[in-house]
C-alpha cells in the first residue's frame, strides 16, 4: 500500500540525510522519485545534509501545486513512483493535502521530512497538517542531546548569543554547534546560497523541554556556573 510517511525530529537529527538515503535506496531498487524541498540552508532547490550529501530538488514555493506538478510529469510521459519532501514544515496545509491526494489517487509513496515545532514551541502549519493526514509518523533514531545530557526535543533560536522568544516563524539557519564545528565548510562555498544561514545572525540550539522553558542555553548555563571574574583594581 502506498503511504504518506512523516519523518520528524528536532533540528540536526538526520532528516535530510535519511531523505537522501531513501531516494538512493529506492533508485537502486529501480524506482524513480522526485525530490522537493523548501528554504534549504544550502540554497534554493537542493536537499543538503550535514554529512555533506547534496541533491538538486524542486523548490516548493507557496504557489507550487504538487498535485499538478506530478500530473504534468506523468502526462509528459515521465515516470514518478515516489516523492521525497524535505523541510516539509515550510509547506502550506494545501500542499500537504495535495501530497495525501497523490498517495490515495495516484498510488505514489510520499516520504516527508521536517521539524514539528518552531522556536516558540508552536507547530508549523505544514507539520500540523502532516500529523493530521499521514499514514504514520516516524521519529529518527539519532536523538540530539541538550547540553544537560537529556534528549533534546525543542529548537531554541539564538540571536546575538541569547535565546529569543519573539520573531517571525521562518528564519533559515543552522545549529550553533554545527556553525562552531565549521559545518559550512562541508558545503561548496562557490554554490549560490551556500556557506551559512540566510538570515544573518540567526542560529539554533536543540534543548530538552525543561531547559527550553527556562531559556537555559548551554552558554547561559556555563556563564551561571563559571561567572567571569571581576576585574580587580591595581593597588596604588
Ligand atoms: N562529522 C560528522 N560525523 C558523523 N556524523 C555527523 C557529522 N556531522 C553531522 N553528522 C550527523 O548528521 C546529523 C545531521 O544530519 P542532517 O540530515 O543534516 O539533519 P537534519 O536534516 O535533521 O537537520 C547529525 O545528527 C549527526 O548524526
Ligand atoms: C526552529 C525553527 C527552525 N527554522 C528553520 C531553521 C532551518 O533552516 C530549518 C530546519 O532545518 P533542519 O534541516 O531540521 O536542521 O528550519 C525556522 O525557520 N524557524 C524555527 O522556528
* Cα(228) to centroid(ligand 2), Å: 32
pLDDT one-digit tens code per residue, 18-77 = 999 999 999 999 999 999 999 999 988 999 999 999 999 999 999 999 999 999 999 999
Residues with CB under 6 A from ligand 1: 11-17, 49-51, 142, 144
Report the predicted TM-score, pTM, of the whole model to 2 decimal places.
Answer: 0.92
Phi, psi of 90 (to 5 degrees): -85, -5
Nearest CA to ligand 2 atom 2: 118
Query: Is position 87 annotated as part of the catalytic site?
Result: yes
- For the chain, domains (ranges, CATH) are 4-225 (3.40.50.300)
C-alpha cell at 103: 498517495
Residue 226's alpha-carbon distances to 131, 177, 223, in angstroms, are 42, 20, 5
- 84 labeled binding residue: no
pLDDT one-digit tens code per residue, 186-227 = 444 334 333 343 477 899 999 999 999 999 999 999 999 888
CB-based burial label for 143 (10 Å; 0-12, 13-18, 19+): middle
pLDDT one-digit tens code per residue, 74-129 = 999 999 999 999 999 999 999 999 999 999 999 999 999 999 999 999 999 999 99
pLDDT one-digit tens code per residue, 168-196 = 999 999 998 777 776 555 444 334 333 34
* Cα(145) to centroid(ligand 2), Å: 17
Q: Which of 131, 206, 203 is nearest to 167 (CA)?
A: 203
* Cα(3) to centroid(ligand 2), Å: 25
Q: Which of 168, 196, 183, 143 is nearest to 13 (CA)?
A: 143
C-alpha cell at 183: 559545518
* Closest atom of ligand 1 relative to the 9 alpha carbon: 22
Q: Point out the catalytic residue in the list 59, 87, 94, 235.
A: 87
Amino acid at each position: 500500500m502506498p503511504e504518506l510517511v512523516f519523518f520528524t525530529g528536532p533540528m540536526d537529527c538526520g532528516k535530510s540525510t535519511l531523505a537522501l538515503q531513501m531516494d538512493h535506496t529506492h533508485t537502486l531498487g529501480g524506482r524513480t522519485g522526485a525530490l522537493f524541498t523548501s528554504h534549504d540552508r544550502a540554497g534554493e532547490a537542493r536537499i543538503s545534509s550535514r554529512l555533506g550529501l547534496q541533491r538538486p530538488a524542486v523548490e516548493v514555493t507557496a504557489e507550487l501545486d504538487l498535485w499538478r506538478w506530478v500530473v504534468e510529469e506523468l502526462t509528459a510521459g515521465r515516470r514518478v513512483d515516489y516523492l521525497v519532501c524535505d523541510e516539509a514544515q515550510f509547506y502550506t496545509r494545501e500542499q500537504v493535502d495535495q501530497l495525501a491526494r497523490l498517495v490515495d489517487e495516484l498510488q505514489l509513496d510520499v516520504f516527508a521530512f521536517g521539524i514539528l515545532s518552531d522556536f516558540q514551541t508552536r507547530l508549523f502549519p505544514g507539520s500540523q497538517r502532516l500529523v493530521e493526514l499521514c499514514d504514520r509518523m516516524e521519529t529518527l533514531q539519532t536523538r540530539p542531546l541538550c547540553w544537560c545530557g537529556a534528549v533534546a526535543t525543542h529548537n531554541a533560536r539564538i540571536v546575538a548569543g541569547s535565546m529569543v522568544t519573539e520573531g517571525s516563524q521562518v528564519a533559515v539557519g543552522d545549529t550553533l554547534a554545527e556553525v562552531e564545528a565549521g559545518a559550512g565548510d562541508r558545503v561548496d562555498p562557490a554554490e549560490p546560497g551556500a556557506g551559512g544561514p540566510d538570515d544573518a545572525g540567526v542560529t539554533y540550539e536543540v534543548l530538552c523541554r525543561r531547559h527550553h522553558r527556562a531559556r537555559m542555553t548551554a552558554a547561559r548555563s556555563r556563564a551561571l556556573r563559571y561567572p567571569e571574574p571581576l576585574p580587580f583594581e591595581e593597588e596604588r
